[in-house]
Structure 1
């Protein structure tokens, strides 16, 4: 409010050139609330040519429309501003009667007046990019009984899965899955995995390479040392020394094929990919045994052919051929499988290799140092059932005339390997990694 104006004295002719003195500024008055009552709409902005008129909108709702060219900001009190109106006392109503909804412009309600000026866009794109941007505009509120416009139906992927994603297979309410069919794993997958691992290791190449070199090389040297003039009986017995030394390499590979995974921690990844531990051990055993059997049999067959061609003596029989080639290959492969079982039990490379070397060499060494009549029977048993003597029996050159003969040493080793491998299965299935 301002004070009533004081009457100004009339200015005489002498005061024409006088300079008026500025009055002191009055202190600002606090803003007063506008009187209660419905807000009066202000003057409408003139519509520019080529501009679409904004849709009719009622207060309180928002909508998305393309941004109009910016207009000058409206002064205070014009439409587009938020007006706080004085609250009226609540109207008493009868119980059970629904409360009337507040109408636009009634006292005591806060409402949003439709704004004529251009509001700010959602995202500023810089000057000169006002046209075509999206903004928030008041949306016209429809009458509750007015007919609703039809809503366009959208095709759900569940109705037409082949049209929505022709490259994917529909999996029901759970979503989409890969078009690659999911098949349950079996032993064949584990065999393929173990074959990939054993053929990609350098230890496999070195140990098997040395085994073939020892078996064939020492067998050839022994054949050349015997000469072609000396009669040999049995003819194939010369290759025994090379096979015995080559078996040490197969034993080492059998231990490393499983103990190396425990040493590097790779066994955790293997058991994660294939949780069935029995299947993992079976795959390792089958792959290693097959590889050792094939290479050892090929090496012993090559040595047998060299002995037959270079040595002089009675021709070997079919049984002697089988025992000197396939029998020797089976015996060496079973030794490697026994080493694999020991490696699964001990889970340590050095300990398992030392144990297997003791099994192969210790009985013969103890028999050499045991002297006397009291331990004569023990000495004989150690020699008869030692690995070198059993392998020599397959070549018809046993160390003693008593004891196993023919295919019996191979059957004994197969039984021992089966018992130790069964213990390895039980240990791997029960204990933690």
Structure 2
């Protein structure tokens, strides 16, 4: 059996293990180990298992992942994000579907200190859904908005997905963050437009909020968001101004979050312990998948599968648009069953050679991949944001109702993806400003 055929069998075996619900990280390691053993011998496979995990995890850029995670968990556990929804509610409640719009902007603000869509959906769901229930909002609109708005967490920097993409594709993290910022802002505005259109068509979905709010209350609400403003300006401002690198920004952000929490007197031994444990658990699971994906990349490179597939695509004379259409379909299918990091790391070893061959910007492609993977966070049957939100709000809304509520946002996401494909400047405008 040729090396290329062994590689193809390995991909088939990996998909089979995933279909059997085997852990993605362990499946990646097992397939890569056995594949290299079949291609060479046990010594070569064992050598890869000894060398690849350390050499990849020792990558300095990856040190920002646990730091950004710690920053997000400290903000969450110490209540630094508590004023986001309250401020957005006061400023936007008069608009059609104002509380739902406030949820979108609240998630966008929370995204700037977490980098996780699941964390956005869970944190904002606790405060926004009860508020919308109180004002008799349609539960499909309320929960669908929160599940969809949570996806902004992996687009607006700091984004863990974009950091990992940058390490694998070897492109600058700062440029990826700027590209993700453009897509994140476009996504938030698209969701706001969807809410306004839906409520205009059917005002009963979101009764008008009639409370009287003074100008003083508006500005008082803005003041309550100062912890997040300090973190966003300090971390993102310093990074884009060149005061420190994207890698160093993680440590700066974690230190600032701890300092702000201490100033607010919400940093307790228990909150710090919870934030630290959650960071370690999340990093442990994440890094196992990363190591497995690194081994798979090595295996597929040695087998020649990536080059064979890329050559096959080239022989079809498929243009960039056809290529991207195919990749879009693949990510939509994978998003129904896999979590984003696993789906990305399984596909990048195959897709990156094609993208380079088609001369498509890797910065643009990184933001596009993050957007496609986040669409998978709200699509059935395994829409993680939907299940996280359902567990957060309890019996307020069944999972089936939340899935029904996301379809308008899903369609809007597909239209936005088409827009960024045909108008790549939406993604590349911010990176171009700082190039």
Scaled to the shorter chain, the TM-score interval is under 0.3
Instruction: Compute the TM-score of the two structures, normalised by the length of structure 1.
Output: 0.28
Q: Give 1 or 2: higher helix fraction.
A: 2
Q: Give 1 or 2: higher strand fraction.
A: 1
Q: Which has the higher contact order (CA 8 A, sep 6+)?
A: 2
